[in-house]
Amino acid sequence: MQGEAQRAWKHHGGLPQEQSGAASALSEMASELGGALGIALLGSRVTLIYRRVLSAGIPPMVHGEALERALRGIGSAVSSAQDDGGNALVSAAQAAYSDAAQAAFWASACIVLVAAVGALAMFRTFMPRG
């Protein structure tokens, strides 16, 4: 075994060579699925928090279509503010996005911490073969 096949064999715990391809595919699929779910869940969290914070801190002179556009995202809020000349809307949108991104970063840090503790707990009970 040379190169990639040898690394895959070591990575998958010494499986027989005829099973290492399936194990590698399963590992890759799990990695892709985890990334996609993480992006979807954290992105939804950012959107929810952004809308909630912006709704609570929206300047009183912003209403109607400008408000609806601002709630779609920070890019829409900035373009809406340029059309209406509202610097207060841009400031409120920036603050809301900053709060939302910070919440997502903290959630990510907690997920990594939980995963690290879980990995340590698993490796403590791991018994090497042979």
Domain limits at 78?
A: 21-124
Over residues 76-125, the pLDDT tens digits come to 888 877 766 578 888 888 999 999 999 999 999 999 999 999 989 888 87
Specify if 1 maps to a domain.
no
Confidence band for 8, pLDDT divided at 50, 70 and 90: very low
Specify if 106 maps to a domain.
yes
Specify if 9 maps to a domain.
no
Q: Which DSSP letter does residue 5 get?
A: H
Instruction: Answer left, alpha or beta for residue 24, where phi above 0 means left and psi between -120 and 50 means alpha.
Output: alpha
Specify if 130 maps to a domain.
no
Nearest CA among 94, 93, 97 for reference residue 46: 97
Whether the pLDDT of residue 26 is over 60: the answer is yes
How many structural domains does the chain have? Answer: 1
Specify if 14 maps to a domain.
no
Confidence band for 4, pLDDT divided at 50, 70 and 90: low
pLDDT attached to residue 10: 54
Whether the pLDDT of residue 1 is over 70: the answer is no
Specify if 103 maps to a domain.
yes
Specify if 100 maps to a domain.
yes
Whether the pLDDT of residue 9 is over 50: the answer is no
Residue 32 has which token pair?
């892709």
pLDDT attached to residue 11: 56
Specify if 115 maps to a domain.
yes
Q: Name the pTM for this structure.
A: 0.69
Confidence band for 23, pLDDT divided at 50, 70 and 90: confident
Instruction: Answer left, alpha or beta for residue 13, where phi above 0 means left and psi between -120 and 50 means alpha.
Output: left
Over residues 28-65, the pLDDT tens digits come to 888 899 889 989 999 999 999 999 999 898 877 777 88
